[in-house]
Amino acid sequence: MSSAPHDAIWEAVPAHAVPEDLAPRLRWLLSRVPRGATVLDLGCGAGEFSAAMTKAGAHVIAVDVAAEALRRARERVHDLDARLWRAGEPLPVDDNHVDLVWAGEVIEHVADVAPWLSEVRRVLRPRGALLLSTPHHGPLTMLGLALSPRAFQRHFDPRNDHLRFFSPMTLGRLLDDLGFDVTALTPAGGRIGMRTTILARAVRSA
């Protein structure tokens, strides 16, 4: 499959669009990326996180399924190592090659998370870390949606590109089942009791 369907989505995204919760996610990420680390920015989008990690002294490999996203990322970051991940193929990264994988607001778009996480595990060095963020779907979040029919219909519209919905518990179990030792699962953003994001750190098990 070509990247055309993903490119069509990206072409509808304004050039000045800012990723949701960019500032707090950047602070959380950069506090966990050592200078000199080799980092895979998986689902790099327009390159906001790649740019910040590069500036912080990391060696970044940016990967996306959309050629248009990679074009924008290359415009943002000079000499960025940007690679297209074609459907049905392995990640375009060698085995045991990276210290960290950052996947910001990506896993909820993945139809089959088991092979996706297996590829993440393959490219990580032993005891390398997966850092990810994904929308929070804990009990209070779900209750809030249930109390607003309009919000519920909009959130679960079948045309929405979010295919998976995670709570800290379900995300933790998934990562544990697929060969990761979870070291942190932090609900963040939003109002107290109504968190909007899960921030997770999980280490590749030996």
Domains of the chain: 4-204 (3.40.50.150)
pLDDT at 93 over 70: yes
User: What was the pLDDT predicted at 152?
Assistant: 62
Which whole number is the average pLDDT over 94-121?
96
CB count in 10 Å sphere of residue 144: 16
User: What was the pLDDT predicted at 172?
Assistant: 96
- Describe the strand order of the beta sheet including 180-188 as a list of residue ranges: 81-84, 59-64, 38-42, 98-104, 124-135, 197-204, 180-188
User: What was the pLDDT predicted at 14?
Assistant: 77
Which whole number is the average pLDDT over 79-83?
97
Cβ-contact 68, 42 below 8 angstroms = no
Which whole number is the average pLDDT over 10-35?
88
Average of per-residue pLDDT values in the chain: 87
Which whole number is the average pLDDT over 15-21?
83
- Contacts of 183 by beta carbon, 8 Å cutoff, 6+ apart: 129, 201, 202, 203
CA–CA separation, 104 vs 188, rounded Å? 14
State whether residue 94 is helix, strand or coil: coil
pLDDT at 192 over 50: no
User: What was the pLDDT predicted at 119?
Assistant: 98
User: What was the pLDDT predicted at 35?
Assistant: 97
User: What was the pLDDT predicted at 1?
Assistant: 46
Which whole number is the average pLDDT over 159-182?
88
Which whole number is the average pLDDT over 118-140?
90
Q: Whole-prediction pTM value?
A: 0.86
